[in-house]
Amino acid sequence: MARTLINVPQKAKRGQVVEIKTLISHIMETGYRRNETGVAIPRDIINSFVCTYNGEEIFRAKLYPAIAANPFITFFTVATETGTLEFKWTDDKGNVETGTAKITVE
Amino acid sequence: MTHQPTRRAVVIGAASAGTLAAAPFLIVRPAAATPETMKAAIHKLIGESPVSKGKVTLDIPPLVENGNTIATSVAVESPMTAKDYVKAIHIFNEKNPQPDAISVYLGPRAGRAAFSTRIRLADSQTVTAIAEMSDGSLWSDSVEVIVTIAACLEYN
């Protein structure tokens, strides 16, 4: 569906707060625009974003048409253990895009 | 002798027909949210509980050129322990077609109650961020933003 960029530090100390940056390419069509012939363009946005850390949900976002095209979201988490972060974006058409990132905790 | 339309009548007729034909192509703007609909959206999401000012920092430029992408971040003062943490942060606007912008849900594992994203704004308006704490209290911050090029309303 779309290209994604995920930025997670490769290594972190136990208990350290790390910043996670995510970007996905998506048109984020608001549903409020019309084309040249006056026909409304149907809404197509990413409406949900979830991040899990070793299977446990750490961050969830509900997105509305007011989010700019190519949604960029950054947030924080505590580096608790070595493992995998999984990212999941869902859009109005039901398309799901996933991504993963590994983090090593020392 | 039959009546022939005069040159003047033909010109006037053509002009008024043109006006009528053009009418359907007038721009129809979607109904915009208002401060009242923003309040209604806030109540729908978090109930009627009172919202206090403070603890929340909404970082958004006060003057933006392009309403299509506005870097926005929210930080909330909180120890983020298992007993005292931020449950959710919401961003609302007054004048976009829809009052909600984004809702994020976090927990003590976040370590820091902050996030950033990019939003769209259709007009100069006040943007409000509200944080829901684990004890149920609500805190907010508002910023007035001037937008020179509005999002949402252009034809593609």
pLDDT single digits (tens) B110-139: 999 999 999 999 989 999 999 999 999 999
Q: Cα Rg for chain B, rounded, in angstroms?
A: 24
Lowest mean pLDDT among A64-68, A69-73, B101-105, B152-156: B152-156
Q: pLDDT band at residue B58, thresholds of 50, 70 and 90?
A: very high
Separation between Cα atoms, residue A83 and residue A105, nearest integer Å = 8
Chain mean pLDDT for chain A: 94
Q: pLDDT band at residue B15, thresholds of 50, 70 and 90?
A: low
Separation between Cα atoms, residue B96 and residue B101, nearest integer Å = 9
Q: Which residue, A25, A9, A6, is CA-closest to A17?
A: A9
Q: Which residue, B11, B53, B38, is CA-closest to B138?
A: B53
Q: Write out the two tokens for A28.
A: 């984020």
Contacts of B103 in chain A (CB under 8 A): 61-62
B98: closest CA of chain A, how far (Å): 8
- The H or E element spanning position B114 is strand B114-119
The pLDDT value given to residue B22 = 44
To probe the interface with A, which of B60, B116, B118 has the most A CB atoms within 10 Å?
B118
Average pLDDT of the segment spanning A10-23: 96
Strand partners, B149: B66
* CB-facing half-sphere around the CA of B153: CA atoms within 13 A: 17
Lowest mean pLDDT among B33-37, B103-107, B138-142: B33-37
The pLDDT value given to residue B30 = 54
The pLDDT value given to residue B38 = 85
Alpha-carbon separation of residue A1 from A92, A100, B18, B129 (angstroms): 12, 16, 45, 31
Tell whether ipTM is more than 0.85.
Answer: yes
The pLDDT value given to residue B82 = 93
Average pLDDT of the segment spanning B65-74: 94
Is B154 an 8 Å CB contact of chain A?
yes
User: What digits encode the pLDDT tens for the residues B75-111?
Assistant: 999 999 999 999 999 999 999 989 999 999 999 999 9
Lowest mean pLDDT among A67-81, B4-18, B39-53: B4-18
Q: Write out the two tokens for A99.
A: 């991504």
The pLDDT value given to residue B17 = 52
B93, closest residue in chain A (CA to CA): A66
Average pLDDT of the segment spanning A42-61: 95
A80, closest residue in chain B (CA to CA): B109
Between B31 and B58, name the one with better pLDDT. B58
Top CATH class of A4-32+39-105 equals mainly beta
Q: pLDDT band at residue B48, thresholds of 50, 70 and 90?
A: confident
DSSP state of B151: S
User: Which of helix, strand or coil describes residue B14?
Assistant: helix
| Ranges of each domain in chain A | 4-32+39-105
The pLDDT value given to residue B20 = 46
Burial grade of A24 (CB within 10 A; 0-12, 13-18, 19 or more): buried
The pLDDT value given to residue B25 = 45
The pLDDT value given to residue B49 = 85
Terminal C-alpha separation, chain A = 35
**pTM exceeding the 0.90 threshold for the entire prediction:** no
Across the interface, whether the CB atoms of A60 and B105 are under 8 A apart is answered: yes
pLDDT at B53 over 50: yes
Between B3 and A4, name the one with better pLDDT. A4
Separation between Cα atoms, residue A4 and residue A91, nearest integer Å = 14
